Amino acid sequence: MKLYRTGSGNYVKDGGRICRVPEPNWDALVAHEDLPAYLGSIVASSEPAGDFASARIEAPIGSQEVWAAGVTYYRSRDARMAEAKDAGGGNFYDRVYTADRPELFFKATAGRVAGPGRPVRIRGDAKWSVPEPELTLLINPRGEIIGCTVGNDMSSRDIEGENPLYLPQAKVYDGSCALGPCILVTGELLPRSTQIQIEIARAGGVEFSGSTTLAELKRDPATLAAYLFREMSFPAGAFLMTGTGIVPPDDFTLAHGDRIRITIDPIGTLENEVF
């Protein structure tokens, strides 16, 4: 089942059937004691909604904080070690890749998150900016993973590479995160064969494309979620981005007007233009 947040309310889609969700409050849905059963009962007992096609799909977020895990793929470890070499920070990335404790960092509040079709941003003081396509977990206030969405952890590689202590500035700024188009409501892990694909279009052509699979993700999503909820409560629940396994070549940087399309098949495609 897929759960959509739109400008005219929330909708659930199951197979070809789309129904309006009577609960208008997104946070209440995230906190629901049995969301799959609640949504299933709506699909079984409601008339299909005729107005979904004209509804504006918004980021699937209410008051949740967005957090992110880092260096969870070998490709990310490699790229960070190279970019931080001159700053002497390279070996931290190798150490966190192999440590029990994952890297977790704060990424965004809802106001800094772009929904599908909304602009994402690159920093004006960055010279080297990339998107990071990431499977993103939705976790309820009780620490249970209730679904997932597509995420883009926009990042300034030169700022992070200059000094690892600049990570918050490289990662957290207005329009630095995109989520959507929906929540795939599932407590099950997606299969390891699940592909994450990205395509960056520029001036009518494809400037970069890449893909990876969840088989390359070194950490178990449930363990990442458990670390996030250690010693920290999330009364509205939280999103957790699970890290990137796709890094464009070092001579690539995003430009204004680029269109970023990230697809994780069972969820959908998240598309944003760089403002």
Query: Which of 265, 139, 97 is CA-nearest to residue 190?
Result: 265
Q: Between the CA of residue 173 and those of 20, 59, 112, 124, 259, what are the distances in Å?
A: 34, 17, 7, 11, 19
- Least Cβ distance, residue 193 to ligand DO4 (angstroms): 21
Q: Which is nearer to Mg ion, 12 or 89 (CB)?
A: 89
Interface pick for Mg ion out of 72, 152, 242, 244 (rule CB under 5 A): 244
Q: Which stretch binds ligand DO4 (CB under 6 A): 5-13, 48-56, 68-76, 191-199?
A: 68-76
How far apart, in whole angstroms, are the C-alpha atoms of residue 49 and residue 55? Answer: 11
Under the binding rule (CB under 6 A), the answer on residue 83 touching ligand DO4 is no
- Exposed e or buried b per residue across 25-55, where buried means at least 16 C-beta atoms within 10 angstroms of its C-beta: ebbebbbeeebeebbeebbeeeeebeebeeb
Chosen residue from 58, 65, 83, 153 binding Mg ion by CB under 5 A: 153
Using CB under 5 A, pick the residue from 58, 65, 132, 258 that binds Mg ion. Answer: 132
For residue 11, what are the β-bridge partners? Answer: 4, 20
Q: Which does 76 bind (CB under 5 to 8 A by kind): Mg ion, ligand DO4, none?
A: ligand DO4
Residue 86 CB, nearest approach to Mg ion (Å) = 21
Compute the half-sphere exposure of residue 71: CA atoms within 13 Å on the CB side of its CA. 24
2 binds ligand DO4 (CB under 6 A): no
Residues that bind Mg ion (CB under 5 A): 132, 153, 244
